[in-house]
C-alpha cells in the first residue's frame, strides 16, 4: 500500500527500512525522519504523517529494547543556590 503519494513510500518500504536500521543498531531510536533518510527521500507535504506513523507502530521491530544503554536518563544538574 502506498503510504506517501508525494514520494512513493509504501508500507513495505517502511518495514524494510525499520528492519535495516534495527539490524544495523538494535538500540537506535527510529523516527519517521530517519526512515525517510534511510530511503533517500524527504517529507514533502506532510499529509501522510499520520498513516506513516500508524505503519511504523504496526511493525514489531519498532520497539526499543528495555536495556537500551543510550536511553538512560541523565543525572539532574543541581541548581545553584542563591547566596
What are the domain boundaries of the chain? 2-66
Q: Is the pLDDT assigned to residue 73 strictly greater than 60? A: no
Collect all residues with Cβ–Cβ distance below 8 Å to 68 and sequence separation of at least 6.
Answer: 27
CA distance 18 to 34: 9
Calpha distance 2→5 (Å, rounded)? 6
Reported pTM: 0.72
Nearest residue to 30 via CA among 58, 43, 22: 22
> Mean pLDDT over residues 48-73, rounded?
74
Is residue 9 very low, low, confident or very high in pLDDT (cuts 50, 70, 90)?
Answer: very high
Q: Which pLDDT score, from 0 to 100, does residue 72 have?
A: 53
Amino acid at each position: 500500500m502506498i503510504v506517501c503519494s508525494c514520494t512513493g513510500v509504501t508500507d513495505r518500504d517502511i518495514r524494510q527500512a525499520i528492519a535495516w536500521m534495527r539490524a544495523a543498531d538494535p538500540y537506535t531510536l527510529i523516527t519517521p525522519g530517519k526512515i525517510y533518510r534511510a530511503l533517500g527521500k524527504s517529507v514533502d507535504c506532510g499529509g501522510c504523517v499520520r498513516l506513516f506513523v500508524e505503519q511504523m507502530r504496526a511493525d514489531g521491530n519498532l520497539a526499543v529494547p528495555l536495556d537500551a544503554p543510550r536511553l538512560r536518563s541523565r543525572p539532574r544538574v543541581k541548581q545553584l543556590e542563591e547566596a
